Homo-oligomer: A and B are copies of this chain.
């Protein structure tokens, strides 16, 4: 399968672009026409064979997961996805069935979340390398950020923590959108609660006290604190607001040593998945 044939196949699988996309796959650039009053969100994530997944992992799962990780970042800011660009490097022998399954997996989630595949790039490489860029939109000035938490705000997560790699990522788009104008800070858990909450504390110049952490079936407390596979939302609400159903109260933001997190009276170490360590 050569490059042109592969791109034609992708364009066919991608189908008709949704409103806003003036020009999709096939020209030098994709063209998006912003709607009045929207801010645009941009995020990107890499998935590399041998680093983020095993060579024998199912291509449809890799495609779905690559998109899901970026959608989770859009959810974390309260955004609605608009379109994605997919950059795929792959060996010649995977340009046939493998590539079709990869794009089918990705496009199933794209369709479900109303994300148009608007363009990208394919190249030859001896191992699979995927980058997915997603553009989302929020009402102007309303994006949920990490730096708005205040002392006394309650801390929540959107589900139990400590899940293994194998579970499906379910980007919390509806939840993120429902938190617009309500949450004082929000982010997704992609590196582990201990490091991600630490980052939120640093951005908001606060400390935090954890009271309890909901555990995913079979997870240890270590995995729930430091595992990087949850892709749940971590957010803070002013005391007077009630959390959406299905969310767990886990603690409170406080004045104190910036970035420090206490659990059951003890400081916890902020560690999680990091590259180059």
Question: Chain B's nearest CB lies how many Å from the CB of A193?
Answer: 15
Distance, CA A16 to CA B29, complexed state (A): 26
Q: Digit string of A57-90 for contact with B (CB within 8 Å is 1, else 0)?
A: 0000000000000000110110100000101010
Does the CB pair A29–B51 fall under 8 Å?
no
Q: Digit string of A1-39 for contact with B (CB within 8 Å is 1, else 0)?
A: 111101000000000000000110011111111101011
Does the CB pair A34–B38 fall under 8 Å?
yes
Does the CB pair A77–B29 fall under 8 Å?
yes
Question: Is A206 engaged at the interface, CB distance under 8 Å to the other chain?
Answer: no
Question: Is A214 engaged at the interface, CB distance under 8 Å to the other chain?
Answer: no
Question: Chain B's nearest CB lies how many Å from the CB of A133?
Answer: 5
Q: Digit string of A120-144 for contact with B (CB within 8 Å is 1, else 0)?
A: 1111110001010101100011010
Distance, CA A39 to CA B30, complexed state (A): 10
One of A41-49, A106-114, A154-162, A249-257 contacting the partner: A41-49
Question: Chain B's nearest CB lies how many Å from the CB of A222?
Answer: 21
Other A-B contacts than A29-B76, A42-B85, 14 sampled, CB-CB below 8 A, are A1-B276, A6-B276, A28-B43, A28-B73, A28-B188, A29-B43, A29-B73, A29-B143, A46-B123, A87-B131, A89-B129, A122-B275, A124-B275, A125-B129
| Chain B residues near A133 (CB-CB < 8 A) | 42, 44, 85, 133
Does the CB pair B28–A76 fall under 8 Å?
yes
Distance, CA A192 to CA B23, complexed state (A): 23
Number of A residues, CB within 8 Å of B: 65
Residue among B45, B123, B188 making CB contact with A121, cutoff 8 Å: B45
Question: Is A92 engaged at the interface, CB distance under 8 Å to the other chain?
Answer: yes
Question: Is A101 engaged at the interface, CB distance under 8 Å to the other chain?
Answer: no
Question: Chain B's nearest CB lies how many Å from the CB of A4?
Answer: 7
5 contacts between A and B (CB under 8 A): A26-B203, A27-B77, A27-B187, A44-B121, A51-B124
Max count, chain B CB within 10 A of own CB: residue among A22, A124, A275? A275
Which residues on A are within 8 Å of B, measured CB to CB? 1-4, 6, 22-23, 26-34, 36, 38-46, 48, 51-52, 73-74, 76-77, 79, 85, 87, 89, 92, 95, 118-125, 129, 131, 133, 135-136, 140-141, 143, 145-147, 187-188, 203, 274-277
Chain B residue at minimum C-beta to C-beta distance from A125: B48
Does the CB pair A41–B31 fall under 8 Å?
yes
